[in-house]
């Protein structure tokens, strides 16, 4: 996995032998087309038009759907230059081409942007084995992790291992609709060893309204982006019960502490400074005040936990997926397997509320337990 993966992987795809020729231009493919995937395509497409080192065209893989009008979503995107279902009213750029064929969408691309709900990444990667260039670079904007019998696996690691290519990550305080409207935001690129590759991703995503900073800490950046959704669910419970801003601030602080300790539990290499980047404290704050996980968790609490998250998700998100409920279940399994649930009372309580074992009001009861970790 990581930087050396490409040296051990052979496939039938283009091996990039011509890449060292003068005038080589990178091709970018975006794998995913929800609200965040569409925004990612918009950011990237702006830069591919303006940077001579990239081909203008950006392929965006779309999981095909039929709209109420009877038109295919892909056709609607290509006709209107908008994702009319997940990001209506926002022009993506004339050089964004929606494609429902995954193999065709990644053909010839040497820069792959993964931005799908993490529940789908397993099937996507399996479909792409031997289909991507062996010299390709990937970046994951996906929040979540795969939990297997042998332990947790980060999405970036999973992509690297399945496809034999290096995978960086991009996380941050990024509410898709605000970036789509070109309101100033920032993000963090987490990379492993190759600073030059990190700078390429920074160049590809940076716009006048979107500032990107590289950090050599893939695990820290990715886990922050993953775990913040768990904290956002806790914040949503607080909002749904009208507990007030003081309680919400306390929950956010408790959540940040458990995020830091969970990251260091899994990866001792995680840097404290990472938590002060956009992927850390900034992402937690924005998600706890404006994200979809907070929104649905608030509704869950207002209904006394009597309506399931699945039901509320279907009603409120128009086909988009929650990440936090799945993530906290995965986190819970990791902690239970290691016998460490008592050390992470907030994470454990959020899962037990989501699964119906505790009422939403239990979100503050746990705080009466002894705090294990230093503030």
Contact 72, 85 (CB under 8 A): no
* 143 appears as a binding residue in the annotation: yes
* 362 appears as a binding residue in the annotation: no
* 35 appears as a binding residue in the annotation: yes
* 185 appears as a binding residue in the annotation: no
Among the listed residues 42, 59, 85, 228, the single catalytic one is 228
Report the distance separating Cα 292 and Cα 36, nearest Å: 12
- The token duo for 273 is 């400074």
* 176 appears as a binding residue in the annotation: yes
* 140 appears as a binding residue in the annotation: no
**C-alpha of 208 from chain center:** 22
* 295 appears as a binding residue in the annotation: no
* 323 appears as a binding residue in the annotation: yes
What phi and psi values does residue 245 have, to the nearest 5 degrees?
Answer: -70, -35
Q: Is 228 a catalytic residue?
A: yes
* 292 appears as a binding residue in the annotation: yes
**C-alpha of 335 from chain center:** 22
* 2 appears as a binding residue in the annotation: no
Contact 115, 31 (CB under 8 A): yes
* 34 appears as a binding residue in the annotation: yes
* 225 appears as a binding residue in the annotation: no
Q: Which residues pair with 29 in a beta bridge?
A: 59, 112
Binding residues for NAD(+): 32-37, 63, 120, 176, 292, 321, 323
**Which positions make up the binding site for substrate?**
143, 292-293
Residues involved in catalysis: 228
List binding-site positions: 32-37, 63, 120, 143, 176, 292-293, 321, 323
């Amino acid at each position: 996995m990581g930087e050396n993966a490409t040296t051990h992987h052979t496939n039938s795809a283009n091996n990039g032998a011509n890449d060292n020729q003068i005038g080589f231009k990178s091709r970018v493919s975006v794998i995913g087309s929800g609200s965040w995937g569409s925004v990612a395509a918009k950011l990237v497409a702006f830069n591919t038009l303006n940077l001579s080192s990239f081909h203008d065209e950006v392929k965006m893989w779309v999981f095909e759907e039929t709209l109420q009008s009877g038109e295919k979503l892909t056709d609607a995107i290509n006709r209107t230059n908008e994702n009319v279902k997940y990001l209506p009213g926002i022009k993506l750029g004339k050089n964004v081409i929606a494609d429902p064929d995954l193999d065709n969408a990644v053909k010839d691309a040497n820069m792959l942007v993964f931005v799908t709900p993490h529940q789908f990444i397993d099937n996507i990667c399996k479909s792409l084995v031997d289909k991507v260039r062996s010299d390709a670079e990937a970046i994951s904007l996906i929040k979540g992790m795969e939990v297997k019998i042998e332990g947790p696996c980060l999405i970036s690691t999973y992509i690297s291992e399945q496809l034999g290519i290096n995978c960086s990550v991009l996380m941050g305080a990024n509410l898709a609709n605000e970036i789509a409207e070109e309101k100033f935001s920032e993000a963090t690129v987490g990379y492993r060893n190759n600073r030059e590759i990190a700078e390429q991703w920074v160049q590809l995503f940076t716009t006048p309204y979107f500032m990107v900073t590289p950090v050599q800490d893939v695990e820290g950046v990715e886990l922050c982006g993953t775990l913040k959704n768990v904290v956002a669910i806790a914040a949503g419970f607080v909002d749904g019960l009208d507990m007030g801003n003081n309680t919400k601030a306390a929950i956010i602080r408790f959540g940040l502490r458990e995020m830091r300790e969970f990251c260091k539990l899994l990866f001792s290499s995680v840097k404290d400074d990472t938590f002060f980047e956009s992927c850390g404290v900034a992402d937690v704050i924005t998600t706890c005040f404006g994200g979809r996980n907070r929104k649905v968790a608030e509704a869950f609490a207002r209904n006394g936990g009597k309506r399931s998250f699945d039901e509320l998700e279907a009603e409120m998100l128009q086909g988009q997926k929650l990440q936090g409920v799945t993530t906290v279940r995965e986190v819970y399994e990791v902690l239970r397997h290691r016998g460490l649930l008592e050390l992470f009372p907030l994470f454990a309580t959020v899962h037990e509320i989501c699964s119906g074992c505790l009422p939403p009001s239990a979100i503050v009861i746990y705080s009466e337990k002894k705090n294990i970790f230093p503030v």
